[in-house]
Amino acid sequence: MARKLIIAANWKMNKGPSETGGFLKTFLAKIAPSTSNCEVVVAPPFVSLATASELVANSNVELAAQNVSEYDSGAYTGEINVVMLKELFVRHVILGHSERRSIYGETDAVINAKIKKAREANLKPIFCIGETLEEREAGKLEEVLRTQVRGGLDGVSEKDLLESVLAYEPVWAIGTGVTASPEQAQEAHAFVRSLLAEFYGAAVSEKIRIQYGGSVKPGNSAELMGQPDIDGALVGGASLEAQSFLELIENAVAGA
C-alpha cells in the first residue's frame, strides 16, 4: 500500500527565533513542487515555535514540537502543555526520542502518558523507538523494540495510532555518522510493522508510517527510502542547514 513519505527535521537544542526565521525563509523559497507528495515537518525548539508558526502558515511545511508535558497545566516548572502547542498551530510532537529516554529518564510509561495527552489535543505523535549498540550486540533488538512499542502504545486506540507516526532510530546511529544499512533498517522496520500487526491487526499496520532516523543525509536518503517498510525520515544533523535538508528531501522523494 502506498504510504505518503514524511520527513521531519529535529533541530534539538539548536536555532533560536532569529536563526529559525533565517532558515525557514531560505527553505520555503527553495522547496520544490516535486516534494509536494512528501509531508515535510520541522521541529524547532519551543522558543522558536511562534516565529516558525508565522512563517510556515501558508506553506505545506508543518510544525512539530520536540516534547510536551503529560500534564494539563499548573505547578510544573519548565514544562509546556498541549494547549500551548495548539495555540501556535503545532501539528506533531516528537515523543520517546532516545535523548529524552537516556538523558531525562523518560520511561515507556511516561512516553505512553504523553502520547495519550497529545492525542487528547489532536496532536500527532512521532513516537521514537530504537535499541542501543549493546542491546543489538546482545541479540536483544526484537525484545527492546517489542517492550518499547507495547509500553508506549499501551491503551492507545486504533484511531489514535492511525494519527501517529513511528520512528525507528537505532541509538548507535543517532548523531554518530554511522547509518544503519538499508538492509538493517528494513529488517527492523518490518519487525516493528509485524508488532503493530500483532497488536492492531494487519490492515492497520499497513497504514502506519515508520520513519527511519540515524545519520540520514542527502547521500543516503534515496536508498533508505527505497526500502519497502521505510516511509520517511527523522533527521537531526542534516536538517540544520537548509540546502542539505532540501537535497535530502529531494533525494528521498526520488528514491521512494
Q: Contact positions toward ligand PEP, by CB under 6 A? A: 10, 169, 174-175, 213-216, 234-238
- Dist. CA 107–CA 114, nearest whole Å: 11
The DSSP secondary structure of 113-172, one letter per residue, reads: HHHHHHHHTT-EEEEEE---HHHHHTT-HHHHHHHHHHHHTTT--HHHHHT-EEEE--GG
Closest approach, Cβ 45 to ligand PEP, in A, equals 13
**Residue 14 CB burial class (10 angstroms; 0-12, 13-18, ≥19):** middle
Which residues are part of the catalytic machinery? Answer: 97, 169
Closest approach, Cβ 203 to ligand PEP, in A, equals 29
Closest approach, Cβ 215 to ligand PEP, in A, equals 4
DSSP tag of 73:
S
Residue showing the smallest CB distance to ligand PEP in the complex: 236
**Residue 88 CB burial class (10 angstroms; 0-12, 13-18, ≥19):** middle
Nearer to ligand PEP, 232 or 237 (CB): 237
Nearer to ligand PEP, 35 or 215 (CB): 215
Nearer to ligand PEP, 151 or 218 (CB): 218
Closest approach, Cβ 214 to ligand PEP, in A, equals 5
Count of CB atoms within 10 A of residue 242's CB? 19
Closest approach, Cβ 167 to ligand PEP, in A, equals 7
Nearer to ligand PEP, 200 or 212 (CB): 212
- Dist. CA 185–CA 36, nearest whole Å: 25
Nearer to ligand PEP, 161 or 171 (CB): 171
**Residue 89 CB burial class (10 angstroms; 0-12, 13-18, ≥19):** middle
